[in-house]
């Protein structure tokens, strides 16, 4: 039987030489030549041209006779290949949203006849529903998932059980060392046509979307379905390298913190995370939160969990650099400040002379310095509340008794700030 499309590259992870012709990867060979023209427009560099082609294809699908399953299948078959390559990687959010809408409409129309395309479609659709840099794309992908699997239980079963392998494979590849900005550019088919600055921004945005979506999915795939066993593919991943250069960025660091938090706090892969989050990675996480509200909120939660149930306070005692970085981060107005009361309680439990002295003489004053930090920074009321909570910890624990005079000075400093404000 003559296939209705030709595909040069339809999967992630192919070699660069294979990807060199990616811009013309999908060719429609079905019965309607006008649909073939639309598919050719999908490969154009101009996003407006692509968007108009998607809108026209959507209109055709909506207006098609639902009994014409052969006609719809002739569209879905090549579109599924195009979708897999482009749904996460197209730089224009309108195009990404349109692709999700079209694929949901096609599969819902074809119903059972479309099931053989789900392994190609579901990974990108699921990841886009979890994370995208534009809310409308997430909403479009979520709506498409609901169209394909109207019942929530069946939707979960499809994603996490029946079609788990292709989704997990996509996650693992996106977080592997094989997935690079250049590789994703070649898969999407980027070659010239834009200024170097624009091309660089698009490339980084493409990589951010793909990696952050995969990191967001990691906690949901950490356990095997219907068991208490950790997924070996997830256990073996080294996703924490996104806290370090050259992989680190503010967007990726925030996604990493959101990924680590449930893995650690819910006891999933706790020993792995404790082992892998070494001193340099904690420093990288802290540094990335300085002056970044989004990263700070996610990372502050993770640092708080580390302080509650790990050797973070031991690391504070042994590393002057970590102590200085923590103070600098707090003073910068980072949301990491919310985790300081928990760190103070950890220091009190630790009882080491170095960290006790550090907490009173350096860490506490750094909290008040956050009042002068540029926006976005916690409001003064929040800073005062955190400072007072920390004062409560150190003034009631006998391990801090030798610093009685310093603690009195801290109370006086807090009162002075209240009066002046």
What tens digit of pLDDT does each residue of 115-152 get?
Answer: 899 999 999 999 999 999 899 999 999 999 999 999 99
Using the structure block, give the residue that is written with the tokens 């910890």.
393
Q: In the numeric block, which tokens belong to residue 261?
A: 């938090």
The last residue of one of the domains, among 231, 255, 276, is: 231
The last residue of one of the domains, among 174, 206, 231, is: 231
Question: What are the residues whose beta carbons fall under 8 Å from the beta carbon of 126, sequence distance 6 or more?
Answer: 141, 145, 159, 167, 217
Using the structure block, give the residue that is written with the tokens 């439990």.
349
Give the pLDDT band of residue 13 (cuts 50, 70, 90). Answer: very low
Judge whether 215 lies within some domain: yes
The last residue of one of the domains, among 231, 248, 280, is: 231
Give residue 79's domain range: 24-231
Instruction: Assess contact for 165 and 120: CB atoms under 8 A.
Output: no
- Please compute, for residue 36, the number of CA atoms within 13 A of its CA located in the half-sphere on the CB side: 10
Nearest of 27, 145, 41, 34 to residue 95 by alpha carbon: 41
Average pLDDT, the chain: 82
Please report the pLDDT score of residue 317 as a whole number: 86
Judge whether 352 lies within some domain: no
Please report the pLDDT score of residue 302 as a whole number: 75
Judge whether 168 lies within some domain: yes
The SS3 assignment for 203 reads helix
Going 37 to 38 to 43 to 49, the CA torsion angle's sign is: positive
Instruction: Assess contact for 144 and 225: CB atoms under 8 A.
Output: no
Judge whether 256 lies within some domain: no
Give the number of other CB atoms < 10 A from CB of residue 304: 21
Query: Cα(23)–Cα(58) distance, rounded to whole angstroms?
Result: 21
Please report the pLDDT score of residue 8 as a whole number: 41
Judge whether 304 lies within some domain: no
- Please compute, for residue 125, the number of CA atoms within 13 A of its CA located in the half-sphere on the CB side: 34
Judge whether 115 lies within some domain: yes
Judge whether 253 lies within some domain: no
Is pLDDT of 374 > 60? yes
How many domains are contained in the chain?
Answer: 2
Give the DSSP H/E element, type plus range, for residue 26: strand 26-28
Is pLDDT of 101 > 80? yes
Please report the pLDDT score of residue 231 as a whole number: 85
Is pLDDT of 34 > 70? yes
Judge whether 245 lies within some domain: no
pTM score of the predicted model? 0.75
């Amino acid at each position: 039987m003559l296939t209705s499309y030709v595909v040069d590259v339809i999967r992630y992870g192919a070699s660069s030489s294979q990807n060199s012709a990616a811009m013309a990867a999908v060719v429609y060979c079905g019965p309607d030549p006008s649909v073939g023209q639309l598919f050719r427009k999908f490969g154009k560099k101009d996003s407006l041209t692509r968007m108009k082609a998607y809108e026209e294809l959507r209109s055709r699908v909506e207006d098609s006779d639902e009994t014409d399953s052969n006609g719809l299948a002739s569209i879905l078959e090549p579109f599924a290949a195009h979708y897999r390559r482009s749904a996460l990687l197209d730089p224009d959010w309108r195009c990404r949203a349109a692709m999700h809408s079209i694929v949901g409409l096609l599969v819902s129309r074809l119903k059972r006849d479309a099931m053989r395309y789900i392994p190609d479609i579901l990974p990108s659709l699921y990841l886009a529903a979890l994370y995208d840099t534009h809310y409308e794309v997430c909403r479009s992908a979520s709506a498409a998932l609901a169209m394909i699997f109207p019942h929530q239980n069946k939707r979960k079963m499809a994603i996490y059980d029946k079609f788990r392998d292709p989704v997990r494979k996509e996650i693992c590849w996106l977080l592997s060392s094989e997935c690079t900005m250049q590789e994703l550019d070649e898969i999407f088919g980027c070659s010239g046509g834009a200024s170097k600055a624009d091309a660089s921004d698009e490339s980084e945005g493409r990589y951010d979307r793909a990696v952050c979506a995969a990191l967001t999915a990691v906690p949901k795939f950490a356990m095997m379905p219907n068991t208490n066993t950790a997924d070996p593919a997830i256990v073996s991943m080294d996703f924490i390298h996104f806290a370090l250069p050259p992989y680190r960025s503010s967007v990726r660091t925030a996604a990493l913190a959101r990924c680590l938090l449930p893995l650690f706090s819910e006891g999933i892969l706790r020993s792995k995370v404790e082992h892998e989050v070494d001193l340099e990675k904690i420093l990288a996480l802290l540094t990335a939160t300085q002056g970044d509200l989004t990263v700070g909120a996610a990372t502050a939660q993770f640092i708080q969990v580390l302080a509650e149930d790990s050797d973070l306070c031991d690391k504070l005692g042994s590393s002057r650099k970590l102590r200085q970085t923590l103070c600098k981060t707090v003073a910068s107005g980072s949301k990491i400040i919310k985790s300081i009361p928990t760190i103070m309680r950890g220091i009190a439990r630790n009882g080491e002379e170095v960290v006790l002295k550090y907490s009173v003489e350096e860490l506490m004053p750094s909290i008040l310095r956050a009042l002068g930090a540029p926006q976005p920074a916690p409001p003064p009321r929040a800073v005062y509340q955190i400072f007072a909570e920390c004062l409560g910890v150190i003034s009631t624990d006998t391990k801090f008794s030798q610093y009685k005079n310093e603690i009195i000075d801290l109370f006086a400093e807090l009162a002075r700030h209240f009066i002046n404000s």
